[in-house]
Chain A
Amino acid sequence: GAVVSQHPSRVICKSGTSVKIECRSLDFQATTMFWYRQFPKQSLMLMATSNEGSKATYEQGVEKDKFLINHASLTLSTLTVTSAHPEDSSFYICSARHSRGTNYGYTFGSGTRLTVV
């Protein structure tokens, strides 16, 4: 249980275009999802916390107009990288918080490798 599906797994786009990444909780409702960015051989950097039905909370230094987050339903959050540039190339990972009884935890998606050319 507690499966998170992230699509696409890999995307290449031209500089200046926008890319949407989807994160779905398949067998549970996720009122809160998280978006991370991971640079090569580095740790995960939290970009924003996505709350269903309300605005996302962005971490310091993350441009909210560049990285648009929408959490319109209890099972879907999307991250849109707008007007992408080569420096936006990275590995993006989403996660969803779940709680079943006392079993709290986070489940991660399989990640999206974004390459901007």
Chain B
Amino acid sequence: AQSVTQLDSQVPVFEEAPVELRCNYSSSVSVYLFWYVQYPNQGLQLLLKYLSGSTLVKGINGFEAEFNKSQTSFHLRKPSVHISDTAEYFCAVMNTGFQKLVFGTGTRLLVSP
């Protein structure tokens, strides 16, 4: 079975500052990794995903994440955040058998002016 840990429930940051949202996973098999963003009362939008290849993955809205197999991490980063990035961010893992997604508990990113 797979599991995901997002240690930070909330991350406050000022506009134009860099941010890192942490994600660690646990799995006995190879996995695919995802980051999703959720705005209030909406579904989830895919930010980026790691399936294979380069461990540095670039996504939408200027976000990127790096897959670190030795540390079982997939941290999300953005060099300069905007007010509009305020949202809930979910890290998710799926085994390469392409079965169900397992989500972390989410991190609320709060960007203030």
Contact = CB atoms under 8 A, between A and B. Distances in A.
Interface of A: 4, 6, 9, 34, 41-44, 46, 49, 91, 93, 95, 97, 99, 102, 104-111, 113
A44 B90 contact: yes
Given A49-B100, A97-B98, A110 B105 contact: no
A110 B40 CA distance: 10
Contacts of A104: 32, 51, 98
8 contacts: A42-B105, A42-B106, A43-B105, A43-B106, A46-B101, A108-B44, A108-B45, A110-B42
B36 to A, nearest CB: 8
Contacts of B44: 44, 93, 95, 108
A9 B42 CA distance: 9
Secondary structure type dominating chain A contacts = strand
A30 B105 CA distance: 27
A43 B93 CA distance: 13
A93 B36 CA distance: 14
B100 A46 contact: yes
B83 interface: no
Contacts of A111: 41-43
A20 B90 CA distance: 27
A43 B106 CA distance: 6
A34 B100 contact: yes
Nearest to A36: B103
A93 B44 CA distance: 9
Contact of A113 (B34, B41, B103): B41
Contact of B43 (A43, A46, A110): A110
B43 to A, nearest CB: 4
Contacts of B108: 41
Interface string B26-52: 000000101010000111111001010
